[in-house]
Amino acid sequence: MKLSKLFTHTRKDAPADEVSKNAQLLIRAGFVNKELAGVYSYLPLGLRVLNNIARIVREEMDAIGGQELAMPALQIKERYEISGRWDDKVVDDWFKTKLVNGAELGLGFSHEENLSPMLKNFINSYKDLPLAPYQVTTKFRNELRSKSGLMRGREFLMKDMYSYSISQKQHDEFYETVQKAYETIYKRLGIGHETFLTFASGGSFSKYSHEFQTLSEAGEDTIYLDRRRKLAINKEVLNDAVIRDLGLRRSDLEELRAIEVGNIFSLGTKFSKPFELVINDQDGKETTLIMGCYGIGISRAMGTVAELLSDEKGLVWPESIAPAKVYLARLGTDAAVVKTADGLYKKLQAENIEVLYDDRDVRAGEKFADADLLGIPYRVVISEKTLKDTTYELKKRTEDKTQNLAEPELIKMLAA
């Protein structure tokens, strides 16, 4: 993509109504635009990051047997009356609306009531199990107080997977598989080193649920972390009995703020029993299916990476999710420089290396500042100076040093 054609622009100042680092940087860089509190538009570069995160999550869900589908935002009232979740006293963050004929609808905040009745038409045998449909869709939650940029939205992108098993054993095995897949996802997103499995409230069907908490002062949760064991307990369930139960010691626990970047929990038969998801097991015995639910906020993950991996100059995307791999800066309008830069742009594209080509006629300082703010992993500079030397100058976003390279070495390095 040529920067001269990109409709978004960077800004020196962040808007006054955004305090959180993630929102300030993402808005300054032109990745998102705020529409209302907790609701953002994703602009071309921001959408690339969001899609890259979703792609990684999809790959890992597919790898453990997840099957992607897409369910609607509009939800039927009657289904939620069956499960007991229509009442605002039970779920207080519903967005509700009506059909022209007056029938009430809700905007989906979670999709158990959608999926379970649907699967009654498809699951015929225990041999179909375990089954784990998932989706990446926009969720709506009427938060009393949205805050912290992308961290807590009223409309946000989420991956939600639901598992159906014939036995507790089968459920437990799948649950553990998902837990491992989540760890892989956070590693790939570049926040694995700061993300910890955290024991949280399990509700009525299991002792604990599990959250994945990323250490950050911008987080809303307080956790107690045993760094050596890489295990944490959410403050909401912390007590001596729980600490003992998990084989931890209070003196090893460190109190920290963290962002909940994912959670997985057992649902038991809460959403299978009301919808009569009953199947004969191997022995011919009627069994109500056991469910699990597994969420990752895709947009929140983007905010978390922005929050964690940025520095005083701007965003610092890991290669795995960056909007482009290379920022190609052409300095000056010298004919040889322009020709060389245009040529490299085409060659990088031919190698399938994603490149942002800064072909604007602006001064060097502005290009460097933008390359840093946008957080592109590699910066390549072409100028009259570099043409006299080995032609190209390469710099990593995370390092200060530069190196000069000739074209074959440069392409080889960037293609790696």
Q: Which stretch binds RNA (CB under 7 A): 49-57, 90-98, 120-128, 244-252?
A: 90-98
Contact call for residues 296 and 183 (beta carbons, < 8 A):
no
Residue 211's nearest CA partner among 235, 239, 228 is 235
Which listed residue (332, 342, 407, 409) binds RNA by CB under 7 A?
A: 332
Cα 79 to Cα 271: distance, rounded to the nearest angstrom: 11
> What x/- string results for residues 301 through 320 when contact with RNA is judged by CB under 7 A?
------------x-------
Q: How far apart are the first and last CA of the chain?
A: 21
> What x/- string results for residues 44 through 83 when contact with RNA is judged by CB under 7 A?
----------------------------------------
Residue 17 interacting with RNA (CB under 7 A): yes
Which listed residue (229, 369, 390, 409) binds RNA by CB under 7 A?
A: 369
Cα 247 to Cα 42: distance, rounded to the nearest angstrom: 44
Cα 146 to Cα 171: distance, rounded to the nearest angstrom: 34
Considering only CA atoms, give the Rg of the chain.
Answer: 25
Tokens (6 digits) for 265: 């929990």
Which listed residue (11, 244, 396, 412) binds RNA by CB under 7 A?
A: 11
Q: Which stretch binds RNA (CB under 7 A): 48-56, 116-124, 130-138, 378-386?
A: 378-386
Residue 14 interacting with RNA (CB under 7 A): yes
Which listed residue (196, 212, 368, 378) binds RNA by CB under 7 A?
A: 368
The SS3 of residue 189 is coil
> What x/- string results for residues 275 through 294 when contact with RNA is judged by CB under 7 A?
------------------x-
Residue 103 interacting with RNA (CB under 7 A): no
Taking the complex as a whole, the smallest distance from the CB of residue 159 to RNA amounts, in Å, to: 11
Torsion of CA 34, 40, 45, 50, to 10 degrees: 150
Q: Which stretch binds RNA (CB under 7 A): 119-127, 183-191, 238-246, 385-393?
A: 385-393
Which listed residue (5, 7, 12, 239) binds RNA by CB under 7 A?
A: 12
Residue 156 interacting with RNA (CB under 7 A): no
Q: Which stretch binds RNA (CB under 7 A): 71-79, 123-131, 145-153, 183-191?
A: 145-153
Taking the complex as a whole, the smallest distance from the CB of residue 358 to RNA amounts, in Å, to: 10
Residue 373 interacting with RNA (CB under 7 A): yes
One-letter identity of residue 335:
A
- Which alpha helices (DSSP H) does 142-232 contain, by range? 168-188
Residues of this chain that bind RNA (CB under 7 A): 10-20, 28, 36-38, 91-93, 109-110, 143-148, 152, 203, 209, 220, 263, 265, 293, 295, 313, 331-333, 362-366, 368-373, 381, 383-386, 393, 395, 402
